Amino acid sequence: MALKECELRGASFQAVSYTPKAGRYAGQTCEGVLLQVTEPMYFRPVKTGLTLIAVLRLLYPKHCQPAAYPTVANPSGERHLELLLGNVQLSHHLMEHPSAVLDDVDSWTKVKDWKQEVGPSLLGW
């Protein structure tokens, strides 16, 4: 499964190699992905992020694992992804059933009547 196969309108992906100058992998050649927003009006950042995590879990299940990420709002850093997503079930599915998330990513990210619910708060819509 490659990101290019995931039909993420508004974004393009390119394989890149780079050598960090600082941090855990300083001086080591690393492989990554460059994400470029090509059509801002169609780009769906949450769908893209969930798809990216699910694809990484499928390709690298041993390396793509939850880790503590301490922040001011969450000093212990535990359950960071769950808290960030605001959805225990989605967090669990990303880690245990990434294929299922990919198959149904639109239902995880679609908000019924979004424009009606948030429309009064939007500027220029």
Per residue in 25-67, pLDDT tens?
A: 999 999 999 999 999 999 999 999 999 999 999 999 999 888 8
pLDDT interval class at 117 (50, 70, 90) = low
CATH number of the CATH domain containing 61? 3.90.1150.140
Residue 108: the pLDDT is 86
Domains in the chain: how many in total?
1
Is the residue at 40 inside a domain? yes
CA atoms lying within 13 Å on the CB side of residue 24 = 1
Q: What would the pLDDT profile of 67-81 be if each residue is shown by its tens digit?
A: 888 989 889 999 988
* More confident site: 118 or 9: 9
Is the residue at 32 inside a domain? yes
Beta-carbon count within 10 A of 56 CB: 17
What is the residue range of 90's domain? 3-110
Is the residue at 121 inside a domain? no
Question: Cα-Cα-Cα-Cα dihedral of 97, 102, 44, 110, to 10°?
Answer: -80
